[in-house]
Structure 1
Amino acid sequence: MSVLVMPKRISWIEMYTTSLFVMFLGSVADIYLDVKYDLYGFFTKGVDFEYLLIFIFIYPATNSVFLNFYPQSKSLAKKALYITV
């Protein structure tokens, strides 16, 4: 809910494209690590429909909050600290 009411510092196209990229990258990594190599599973082995809720709501919300508060005009050290934390 806080994602919907936070003041936006980035445009909707930036939020949309980076959210799609994060979801694509996350799904490719999950497919290879879970289905192909059987290294882990979220809830059960194979495809989980419960994961779709996490995938659709949590990834874009986290991505929007992360990018919205990114210190764009700060020093490289502050940017690295922000990414690390």
Structure 2
Amino acid sequence: MVKLFIVTVILVLLIALKMPRKRTRHELLATIQFALLMNFVTDLYLDLKYKLYWYFDKEQIEWLYLAVALGEIAVLVIIFNYFPLKSNAIKKFIYILGWTCILVLLELYAVYIRVLHYGEWNIIYSAVVYFISMYILYFVLDYTADRRETQ
């Protein structure tokens, strides 16, 4: 199962690297750095303090967590490269809702192959957190968006 996870991460990374860019490197870098920081703090707090969920084996740090981080970065690049910044609020809402559903499915896959383990956590919590996080990251992307073409 872990081999399938590694193959999946590699495929998503290749897609993220080969897709045509719609955002500048600065926009993607700032948004993804903020996302990783937000994720790191959330994971530390909810895992270590409350033991709501954890990755892999709790007894040791595993190198496979790097695959989780790389997969997360690749998915975020795809999401925010194509984010409809100039669209109306309804299109943005639908885009965020659609990606929230995809992220929930990816999380269920991670639970199924035993990369992610739930303690007191529930997939519904993840859906809410993903939805709110996507809006926060949308505001980060919008703040860092290159406005040169409109000036």
TM range (shorter): 0.7 to 0.9
Query: Structure 1's 12 and 65: CA in aligned 2 closer, same or farther, altered over 3 A?
Result: same
> How many residue pairs end up in the alignment?
84
Structure 1: 4+ residue segments shifted above 4 A: none
Residues 5-43 of structure 1: CA deviation (Å, up to 9, x unaligned): 111010111111111111111111110111111112121
Out of 42, 66, 69, the position equivalent to 2:55 is 42
Out of 20, 34, 44, the position equivalent to 2:33 is 20
Out of 78, 84, 87, the position equivalent to 1:65 is 78
Structure 1: any 5+ residue segments left out of the alignment? none
Normalising by structure 2, report the TM-score. 0.51
Contact 1:34–1:40 at 8 Å: present in 2 too?
yes
State, as a whole percentage, how many aligned pairs show the same letter: 31
Q: Give the number of the structure whose residues are more often helix, by fraction.
A: 2
Contact 1:35–1:46 at 8 Å: present in 2 too?
no
